[in-house]
Structure formats: C-alpha cells, structure tokens
Amino acid sequence: MKEKISVYISEEDTRKKIKELGKKITEDYKNVEGKLLLVSILKGAVVFMTDLMREIDLPLSIDFMIVSSYGSGTVSRGNVKIIKDLDINISDYNILIVEDILDSGYTLSKIIEMLKTRNPKSLKLCSFLNKPDRRVANVELDYCGFVIPDEFIVGYGLDYDEKYRNLPYVGILHFEEE
C-alpha cells in the first residue's frame, strides 16, 4: 500500500487558530489565582504546545506526560499506558492539558481522572483537533482548535507509525494500492 497525504488544515490556518487560542487562554487565566501549568501529552502535542505557549501572554510552566494507546496502528487499542508521568506536584497549579487530538476520549478521560486525584487548583483541557464522531468517553473541551471528520490525520505533531510529525500542516492520510 502506498501512503498519500492531502492537506486538510493549512499552515496559515493553523497559525491563525493558535493565536486565537492563546489570546483566549490569556484572557481566561489573567486574573486566576495560582500558577498556570501546561501539560503536554507527548509525542503528538509537543508541536502544538510549543506554538501555543508562545501565544499565551502570562507566566507559565510546562511539564510532559507520555501516554500510549495506539502502538503502530491507526485505532486506539483502548488500554492506556503511562510511560512518563509529571515531574512536579501539581496541587499549587491551574492545569491546562494540551493535547493534539481528542478522538475516542478514552486516553484523556484516564489522564483527567488521574490528575484530579492530585488536587490541582483547576484542570482544563485544550485540544488542537477534535474528532467528535469517534467519542466513546465523556470528555469536554475547554479550548478547541478545529473540529474534524472521522479521517486519519497526520502532520503538525500527529503521526502514523512515527512518520509525518514534521509536516507544517494537518493532512488526511490515504492508503492506495500500488
């Protein structure tokens, strides 16, 4: 099978949306008591979080989690494995989880459930992409970049078998007979 990618969200539209999200997050957190901590879910969300944090005009900290539910396939297997946990105690922080894509919601629901037990001041969720047609877990977004159809998306941090993360746009991955 040959892989082909068609552009779905351009680099320019991505930049515009991130500026918009950064402005909204800045406005929402400017008078909130406590420190702001952006938590990136690696590997996919690192590109989004890097661009987003530069658009947030507030003091903030960052931390990372590595969570796996896909392996080398295109569909979440439903089991969530924490590979790298946060490095800090989050009880003094307003947590903003920064995710690349909200798909089934299963992985994020498990992460949210776990982080809430650590008593953060607040916990909100920001996802670059939202695929509501695939939702199986009840996860509500506080900040959303783009709502997308049920297609396999790559680029701008998202991958297929560790490929295509470096594309500056979001594309739909197609498989064609050779």
Residue among 28, 103, 142, 150 flagged as catalytic: 103
Q: Would 171 be classed as within a structural domain?
A: no
pLDDT digits (tens, 9 = 90+) for 36-77: 999 998 888 999 999 999 999 999 999 999 987 655 444 555
- Domain-located, residue 72: yes
The domain total for the chain is 1
Secondary structure (H, E, C), the chain: CEEEEEEEECHHHHHHHHHHHHHHHHHHHCCCCCEEEEEEEECCCHHHHHHHHCCCCCCCEEEEEEEECCCCCCCCCCCCEEEECCCCCCCCEEEEEEEEEECCCHHHHHHHHHHHCCCCCEEEEEEEEECHHHCCCCCCCCEEEEECCCCCEEECCECECCECCCCCCEEEEEEECC
Q: Which domain holds residue 64?
A: 11-149
CATH number assigned to the domain comprising residue 31: 3.40.50.2020
Single pTM value for the model: 0.90
Active site includes 103? yes
